[in-house]
Amino acid sequence: MKAATAAVGVIMLAIPALTTPRPLLALAGVGVLLVLGSVTSRLGRLPWIGTAAAVTAAVVAVIGHPGAVLLAAEGLIILGYVILLDWPRPAERALAWRWLRLQAPAGLAGLIATGAVLASLAVSAPASPWIVLTGLACAVAAYLVAIPREPPRQR
């Protein structure tokens, strides 16, 4: 599973690197190092290594801006990498399929969302700052939901 994670991570950085300006390829190189670090036993224990690798891939994709289809693939591959990073390391290989089946709903949801966004992008609609603002608000709301909160202390 480590090899699969590393492979997905490298592909995640290779796709946007195709269209990235040459001076910024070093950033993709750093991303590859982070990917490799995230699958090693020692560095893999640090959760920010995997996050940094995924963020690097997203940044390279934003800079390279490789077209809608490749961006859709990139988004799905980032999701796949993030899911694979959560593979419980000491688990036996026999558990892999069972674990992957449990992750299938998240992957399927990502696929549907990507399809929906691709479809909406295909429809020509007049540019509106409200759409962008709404999207930004959604992202902020999602982030606020995600951040951990301290449970209320019982007296």
Partner 1 sequence: MTAHPVTWRAGARLRRLATIALLAMAAAAVTGHGDLLLLAAPALAALAMTGRRGAPAKLALKATVAVSRCYEGEDIELTVSLDSPRVLDEITFSFDPAVTVAVVCGTTTQVTVGGTSAEARWALRPAAWGRRTPGLVRVRCRYGSVWQANLKMQVGTVEIFPHPPPARARLVPPDLLRRIGEHQARTPGQGIEFAGIRDYVVGDRLRDVNWAVSSRRRRLHVNQRAADRAADLVVMLDAFSEVGPPGDSTLDVAVRGAAALTTAYLRAGDRVGAVALGGMLRWLAPDTGDRHFYRIAEMVFDVRQDSVVTPDLDRIPRTALPPAALVVLFSPLLDERAIGAVTDLRERGFSLIVVDVLRHEPPASQRSDFSGLALRLWRLDRGALRARLADLAVPVVVWDTGDDLGVALAPLRRLPIQAGRP
For partner 1, the binding residues (CB under 8 A) are 47, 50-51, 54-55, 58-59, 61-62, 65, 67-68, 71-72, 74-76, 78-79, 82-83, 85-86, 88-92, 95, 98-99, 102-103, 105-107, 109-114, 116-118, 121, 127, 131-133, 135-136, 138-140, 142-143, 145-148, 151
List Cβ neighbours of 83 (8 Å cut-off, separation of 6 or more): 103, 106, 107
Q: How far is the CB of 7 from partner 1 (least distance, A)?
A: 18
Q: How far is the CB of 5 from partner 1 (least distance, A)?
A: 13
Rounded to 5 degrees, what angle do the CA atoms 134, 67, 29 make?
Answer: 100
- The burial class, CB within 10 Å (0-12 / 13-18 / 19+), for 19 is middle
What is the Rg, in whole angstroms, of the alpha carbon atoms belonging to the chain?
Answer: 18
- Closest Cα to residue 13, out of 85, 64, 68? 64
Q: How far is the CB of 65 from partner 1 (least distance, A)?
A: 7
Alpha-carbon distance of 57 to 76, in angstroms, equals: 12
Q: Assess contact for 24 and 63: CB atoms under 8 A.
A: yes
Q: How far is the CB of 154 from partner 1 (least distance, A)?
A: 9
Of 29 and 47, nearer to partner 1 (C-beta) is 47
Of 26 and 106, nearer to partner 1 (C-beta) is 106
Of 26 and 133, nearer to partner 1 (C-beta) is 133
Q: How far is the CB of 79 from partner 1 (least distance, A)?
A: 4
